[in-house]
Amino acid sequence: MEVDEAAPALFVQCRFALVCGDGLDADAAKKLASTLKLHGGEIVTDQYDGENLPLEELTHIICATCDFPSYDAASDALIPVIKPHWVDASLAKSKLANPRQYSSDPRLFMSNVVICCADLPEGDKDAIIGGVLAMGGLHSAKVSSMVTHIVALTMDSEICRSVAMRKLNMKIVLPHWFDDCLKLGRRIDENPYLLPDPEILRPSNAIAPRAAENGQLTGAIDPDPSHAPSSTTIRSPRGPLQVFARKKLMLSQDLGIGSHLKDVLKDLIEESRGHVTEDSRKADMFICKYREGPDYRLMSQAGKDVGNLAWLYYLITNNSWTSPMRRLLHYPIARNGLPGFQGLRISLSNYSGEARLYLENLITAAGAECTKTLKQDNTHLITAHIMSEKCAAAKDWGVHIINHLWLEESYSKWKLQSITNSRYTHFPRRTNLGEVVGQTKIDRHALEHYFFHTEDTEMEDAKDESQPMQRKDPNMAPIPTSSLVNTPRTPHVRQKAARNSAHAAGTPRRSTGVERKSEAGKMQTPASGRIVSDGKENQTPSTTSSRKAKEAAAARLHDIVSDITLYEKEKKRVGGVVYGGRRKNDPDRVGADRKRSITEDPDSDATEGGESKRLRTGTARSTIHLLVSGYKKWVSHPKLEDANKKQLRDLGIIVTQHPSRASHLAAPSILRTHKFISAMAYAPTIVSTDFIDQCLEKNEFLAPEDFLLQDKANEKRFQISLAESQKRAKENHNKLFEGRTIYCVEIINGGFDTYKSIIEANGGQCNMYRGRPGTMVPSRRADSETSTADEATQAEVFLISGQDQERLWSRFRQMAERSRKIPRIVRSEWLIESAMAQKILPVGPHELR
């Protein structure tokens, strides 16, 4: 490679450390070091052996991953850790590239992505580019060899045709992929989003998506593994292990391992030039089971590696170092679990193999109960996608449905996360989230805050007691030495113990170390001590102790969380109690953990004395879900409605409000209500409301087939045949408007949401049209095997409008013509009649011109 001697060397002011590992072997590191030296760079070290790097001498660290011991220290020192590609990119540009775009930080999950946008509107294009740049990716205005992804809506653009014709190694993806990645904060598989035939735009598929291969969980499934690696299998093929060279390990007493296994581990470590010590002050690694004890706190405060047996076995098996915080179950667990998880009953769905075992063990480690089956007393359902019977049952029962990110991030941050966060309730249509399980790291700042930060501060305070002139607050009472070791782990327990201690000893309360640390260097009058009564409930927190106030509020909230959970569950349950109800600690309430008998109705309520009502017939009966429309007896009579619904539920008839869940529809006649029209797409059995009257009157479950709706008058009036419409609905499988994009104006009689739900129930896509310039019709490629619509029908685009929205019609026609579509502006009657007849009717009499 020729170098211009007149020009200054590119890396002349850079000092590098090369860390070998996955993605950068020894040979590649030597070649890279030669290139850097050729262009003026200085190599501080290229043979990193696990010892601490001389960070004060470095400007850059080159490593393909963040998995080396000095990564956290380098991040704190603001030294960029970059991938080897950064060198090539800098040489290609003849200037130092932005290290953020080549960072090894796993949080920047788009760091290997270079996008080029094709036929996107300017607003969408700017949003995608901004999101990719924020997550470590790059943008190129033109197609080059560096581009990895082309973002387009169709294959009609010149860029896409050129890439396809030249067969370039670039993926053409829909912008939906970036939306889903940014919503989840994880990079998911691109295959369902690849043009020209993206899977997410195909007709609804009954086959659940499969998870891609996930290598993040190997050796990190169980925090307390029962099988140790065999010494013979490790020693024979590779010889001594390099990972323990010149390292001192300490095995904690709480591991509970036998003397034989302990001797095997000791022999392996010592044969690898390591040493097993009993002194935590001399150890480099500490292996324990729980996050407690003076040795754990001392090692953690010193910044040494603290892991569990699973982490030790991983090091032995792979003979390579990895951080114990990289995988959640490589770090010691808390003996009492995560605050707020006690009492939760969590079930899993759609996870399999190692991912399922990992999540089961993580739930147990967090302190909750993991159930194999889903019941009504479950509080949460963690699922990889929403295509399962468990998900349908959870919606009926009001069980919270979230993905695994809620569990992982709650455990990582050591704080119960809110399920209202959209990241935890987002499920991409054709993605199995099992492929991104295990990518969450332990939050080291949360560890410091909840497990050893306070103790560290108190130890410094105890040390300062021998120097009164250096005390930050001379009016504070001394700390008992026993509190340095026996300090509780969680903020709630820590605060309560501090109050009890102060009350018993008669000593004034003292400010926390965090307060004094934040006020260091300020000249002010010291605050006088306060004696706080142990029984005082409405304690006013100090204005200088915001953290104490937050802890007190969190403690009070934790005491009532069971009642809040119970209320939310009862409020969402179909036919359940919406107002009032009993508290969880009421004496006459049946416990949630009570075993149900085989013949008990799962939807029945508890009666007085703790006994449950049973089905009137005394035999097992299949439950039907009934959607009711136009039943006048319940109008303005909420108490009668609640009583009737409860009686019907006891008979095995669950009244639902969702057309998609209804197996039967009850109406006095053929109606053009929202419920009736939407339910037609699901082909339910339509019965007369006499069915409800007779079941209530006779107090028994009657055959719905004896009450089928007969309404010849309205069939003639609406020009439909109810039997024919139901037959077509079964044949359509919710695909009446499949592949069609139907627009609807914002202000229309009945409301936009009404027509949107009808269109989506029939497999179409409904967009609101406001007449904004630059709006384009999305391309929806029909599946070649299942689509029966002719080309003329596929080329049509509809606008549901009223006569008073005429000002938008010209813009809509222009938009359709730009997209090479035929504009059809119709009244809402066309949509209603088509949905009722379950066939696409001619637009002639309803078209607006």
The three state secondary structure string of 679-742 is HHCCCCEEEECHHHHHHHHHCCCCCHHHHECCCHHHHHHHCCCHHHHHHHHHHHCCCCCCCCEE
Reply yes or no on whether the pLDDT at 532 is more than 60: no
Q: What is the pLDDT of residue 622?
A: 58
Q: What is the pLDDT of residue 619?
A: 40
Reply yes or no on whether the pLDDT at 536 is more than 80: no
Query: d(Cα 569, Cα 555) in Å, to the nearest integer?
Result: 22
In this predicted model, what pLDDT tens digit does every residue of 547-569 receive, in sequence order?
556 666 666 666 676 677 767 66
Q: What is the pLDDT of residue 7?
A: 57
Q: What is the pLDDT of residue 685?
A: 94
What is the strand order of the sheet 822-826 is part of? Answer: 765-769, 741-745, 796-800, 822-826
Q: What is the pLDDT of residue 838?
A: 94
Q: What is the pLDDT of residue 653?
A: 92
- Share the mean pLDDT of the chain: 79
More confident: 593 or 373: 373
What percent of the chain is modeled with pLDDT above 70? 75
More confident: 459 or 59: 59
Please state the length of the chain: 849
Reply yes or no on whether the pLDDT at 615 is more than 70: no
Query: d(Cα 561, Cα 577) in Å, to the nearest integer?
Result: 19
Token pair of 578, please? 């919406």
In this predicted model, what pLDDT tens digit does every residue of 432-476 receive, in sequence order?
999 999 999 999 889 988 898 644 444 444 444 444 334 333 334
Q: What is the pLDDT of residue 49?
A: 60
Cβ within 8 Å of residue 148, ≥6 positions away: 112, 113, 114, 115, 170, 171
Q: Which helix (H) or strand (E) holds 754?
A: helix 752-761
What percent of the chain is modeled with pLDDT above 90? 39
Lowest-confidence segment of 51-60, 235-244, 339-348, 743-752 by average pLDDT = 235-244
Give, in order, the Cα–Cα distances in Å from 401 to each of 382, 396, 423, 440, 812: 6, 11, 12, 20, 39
The band of 540, judged by pLDDT with boundaries at 50, 70 and 90, is very low
- Which residues share a beta bridge with 797? 823
Q: What is the pLDDT of residue 10?
A: 87
Gyration radius of the chain over CA positions: 33
In this predicted model, what pLDDT tens digit does every residue of 661-674 receive, in sequence order?
999 999 999 999 99
In the block, residue with structure tokens 């400007």? 59
Q: What is the pLDDT of residue 555?
A: 65
In this predicted model, what pLDDT tens digit does every residue of 309-358 receive, in sequence order?
999 999 888 888 888 999 999 999 999 999 999 999 999 999 998 999 99
In this predicted model, what pLDDT tens digit does every residue of 203-258 receive, in sequence order?
877 788 887 777 778 888 888 886 666 554 444 445 677 888 888 999 999 988 88
Give, in order, the Cα–Cα distances in Å from 219 to each of 311, 317, 441: 8, 9, 15
More confident: 559 or 106: 106
Query: d(Cα 761, Cα 681) in Å, to the nearest integer?
Result: 6
Q: What is the pLDDT of residue 530?
A: 40
Reply yes or no on whether the pLDDT at 18 is more than 70: yes
Q: What is the pLDDT of residue 774?
A: 62
Query: d(Cα 154, Cα 197) in Å, to the nearest integer?
Result: 9
**CB 575 within 8 Å of CB 649:** yes
Reply yes or no on whether the pLDDT at 600 is more than 50: no
Reply yes or no on whether the pLDDT at 807 is more than 60: yes
Lowest-confidence segment of 398-412, 610-624, 643-657 by average pLDDT = 610-624
**CB 809 within 8 Å of CB 825:** yes
Averaged pLDDT, 463-491? 39
In this predicted model, what pLDDT tens digit does every residue of 373-431 receive, in sequence order?
998 889 999 999 998 889 988 887 889 999 999 999 999 999 999 999 999 999 998 99
**CB 718 within 8 Å of CB 824:** no
